[in-house]
Amino acid sequence: MRFHRHRSRVWAATALVAAAGLAATLVPPTGAAARVEPAAEHDGADCAVPDPGPPTAEPLLPDPFTSLDGTRVSTLEEWECRRAEIHELAERSVYGEKPAPPDSVTGTVSSSAITVNVTDRGRSTSFSASVDLPSGPGPFPAVIVYGGFGADTAAINAAGAAVISYDPFEVGAEGTSRGDKQGAFYDVYGSSSSTGLLMAWAWGASRIIDVVEQSGGGVLRADATGVTGCSRYGKGALVAGAFDQRIDLTMPIESGTGGVPAFRGVAQENGAQPLSSAYGEQPWLGDAFGSHTGDPGTLPVDTHEILGMIAPRGLFVMENPHVDWLGARSGSVAALGGAQVYQALGAQDNISYWSDVQDGTHCATRSEWRAPLRQSIEAFLLGAGEAPGVFRMAPGRSGDLSQWRDWRTPTLTDGGGDDGGGDDGGGDDGGTDGACAASYRTVNSWSGGFQGEVAVRNNGADALDGWTVGMTLAPGQSVGNLWNGVNTGTSGAITVRNTPWNGTVAADDTVTFGFVATGDSSTAPGGITCTSP
């Protein structure tokens, strides 16, 4: 699904939500009204964020849908301000502050370079980036590529997008102490700023977008921007996409600790880079993060919510399961958690995750990613075709989201309504016999495997109080990873029961579970049944 670039208040006010199929479908407005006002860097900047109070230890992933005042988010408008809360909590505890847009940003855009000049708080600085245009007539969408390695720039150009080669070290240099940070960001905001390099780099990417927006669109389009990078640059790309809502497509590659992998998961994943190591290796993370390295459970946010900040915009996470240090299992947990935000917004096809790759070389250009990369660029930057919408996890490196959450995923509506069955998780007499119905669809397939999804729908007048789905896999098919459900068996006849957070299904409502399986995808699982106590 392609979401046009406009302020979230516009699509929140005009979106249509239908509880049909696998989830509510958010329909973006079309025509001139959809592009009346371009997206802001931070749409929720005017939301009032209450004081969160002192941190309390929470070993599970925080609930993205519960606001700081304890209320549960149920509408698109409420999500905008809940997102603003996550934004501020992440600044305070993880990355450091990203200042408001500067007093002045000027510069130039040519077919080969971008120059950026910034003045704020009485101080000035400048930096530049190079441009590589694809063949054909412009203006072109563009992907900001952090650093000089890891991103498949040839594939980006071939898909029809320009490459903006951005050296983040110009904006925030590595090899400095926390008290003497250097680079264009710190020229303006001070060498002792508590903001880490990842956020400083994100600030620089935003200033590049400012200049492109001012350029008149002769070379580069101002309404079609992506960002990518590998390793430390993958960490940077993630933060840039989360903290600038003008970025249409975010593609972090092998980002490791401090990037996509869940902080709480990294602390328990054997061989993953410890939080203290990532904090001490370079001043990537904000100074405040240091107090949480010994117990990430005290963090008020985790990376599944950072990924959720990108929703409903395009997101393609690429990970390497062959290097333990990169924490791919914790990355899959974060991606599955972030996908719950996409699902709540009716945009579940706009997030993709791929860790099932053969070559273990860090930051290698991988053939497995080329097709979904092109699809993502076409869908989110060129407005053509459909997003990949695939979760393809490496065997043995797939996390189990059910072990990391005790919250439920709502269906966010336009202006109020049901949040997916209530917050108490029970207290009902159960559904009417025959009310529970299940349907299957293949989300994506490839040689030797496929991703499936099952929708559990309540067709009765009363809420379902628990459900069980039975299905039979074809010979040779085997479930490797399943989320939003608890399975018994992995091949042949299997059953899937609800998790603690999605067992209550309101009348006329739907919940889903998904799985990745090996085997021939040409024969769909059969014998689908659904029962409820």
Please write the tens of the pLDDT for every residue from 3-32: 333 333 323 332 333 222 323 233 333 222
Does any domain span residue 501? yes
Tell me whether residue 8 is one of the annotated catalytic residues. Answer: no
Alpha carbon distance 69, 64 (integer Å): 13
Q: What is the CATH number of the domain that holds 199?
A: 3.40.50.1820
Tokens of 230: 């590998």
* Catalytic option among 231, 330, 352, 355: 231
Position with higher pLDDT, 10 vs 335: 335
- The alpha carbons of the chain give a radius of gyration, in whole angstroms, of 22
Number of H helices, E strands in the chain: 11, 22
CB atoms within 10 A of CB 32: 7
pLDDT digits (tens, 9 = 90+) for 193-219: 999 999 999 999 999 999 999 999 999
Number of structural domains the chain divides into? 2
pTM check: above 0.75: yes
Task: Please indicate, yes or no, whether residues 323 and 272 belong to a single structural domain of this protein.
Answer: yes
Calpha distance 483→443 (Å, rounded): 14
Q: How far apart are CA 455 and CA 83, in angstroms?
A: 27
Q: Kindly state whether residues 435 and 358 are assigned to the same domain.
A: no
Say how far residue 94 (Cα) sits from the centre of its chain: 17
Q: Which domain holds residue 489?
A: 420-531
With beta carbons less than 8 A apart as the criterion, state whether 494 and 488 touch.
yes
**What span, in angstroms and rounded, lies between the C-alpha atoms of 221 and 213?**
8
Task: Please check whether residue 525 lies inside any domain of the structure.
Answer: yes
In a domain, 6, yes or no: no
For residue 495, being part of any structural domain is answered with yes
Q: How far is residue 249's CA from residue 5's CA, in Å, rounded to a whole number? A: 11
User: What's the distance, CA 497 to chain centroid?
Assistant: 27
Give the strand pairing for 140-146 and 123-132. Answer: unpaired
Q: Is the pLDDT of residue 33 over 60?
A: no
| 378 and 424 inside one domain | no
Inter-axis angle of helices 328-344 and 303-310, nearest 10: 40
Determine the average pLDDT of the residues in 381-397.
91
pLDDT (0 to 100) of residue 398: 87
Residue 363 CB neighbour total at 10 angstroms:
17
Residues 6 or more apart whose CB falls under 8 angstroms from that of 309 comprise 83, 86, 87, 90, 242, 243
Number of neighbouring beta carbons within 10 Å of residue 131: 19
| Average pLDDT for the chain | 88
Q: Which residues pair with 526 in a beta bridge?
A: 472
Same domain, residue pair 381 and 462: no
139 and 249 both lie in a single domain: yes
pLDDT tens figures, 257-308: 999 999 999 999 999 999 999 999 999 999 999 999 999 999 999 999 999 9
For the chain, give the number of residues: 533
Nearest to 394 by CA among 304, 322, 487: 322
Report yes or no on 9 lying in a domain: no
Longest Cα–Cα distance in the chain: 70
Is 348's pLDDT higher than 50? yes
Domain endpoint, select from 343, 371, 387: 387
Q: Are residues 306 and 249 in the same domain?
A: yes
pLDDT at 37 over 60: no
Q: Write down the pLDDT at residue 494.
A: 96
Question: In this predicted structure, what is the pLDDT of residue 19?
Answer: 28
Residues 376 and 525 grouped into a single domain = no
Give strand ranges (E) for 281-377.
314-318, 351-354
User: CA-CA distance, 253 to 230, in Å (whole number)?
Assistant: 4
Please, which pLDDT band fits residue 374 given cuts at 50, 70 and 90?
Answer: very high
Domain boundary among 371, 387, 403: 387
Q: Do 326 and 427 belong together in one domain?
A: no
Give the pLDDT confidence score for residue 24 in this predicted structure: 29
At 17 the pLDDT is 31
Active-site pick, 4, 362, 445, 478: 362
From 170, 181, 177, 307, select the one nearest 234 (Cα to Cα). Answer: 307
pLDDT of residue 447: 78
Q: Convert the pLDDT of each residue in 464-515 to its tens digit.
A: 999 999 999 999 999 988 888 999 999 999 999 998 888 999 888 888 998 9
DSSP of 369-392: HHHHHHHHHHHHTS--S-----EE
Is residue 231 annotated as part of the catalytic site, yes or no? yes
**Mean pLDDT within 47-74:** 93
Q: Among candidates 326, 387, 334, 385, which has minimal Cα distance to 357?
A: 326
368 is a domain residue: yes
Residue type, 65: F
Gap between the Cα atoms of 452 and 249, Å rounded: 24
Average pLDDT score over residue span 440-468: 90
* DSSP summary character for residue 231: T
User: Do 362 and 457 belong together in one domain?
Assistant: no
Q: Give me the residues paired with residue 437 across strands.
A: 457
Q: Which of 288, 315, 311 is nearest to 300 (CA)?
A: 288
Query: In terms of domains, do 345 and 265 share one?
Result: yes
Quick check: is 39 in a domain? no
Cα–Cα distance for residue pair 453/323, rounded to 1 Å: 29
Residue 469's CATH number: 2.60.40.290
326 and 236 in a common domain: yes
For residue 54, is the peptide bond before it cis, meaning its omega torsion is within 30 degrees of 0?
Answer: no
Q: Which residues pair with 510 in a beta bridge?
A: 457
Do 318 and 201 reside in the same domain of the chain?
yes
Residue 34 is assigned to a structural domain of this protein:
no
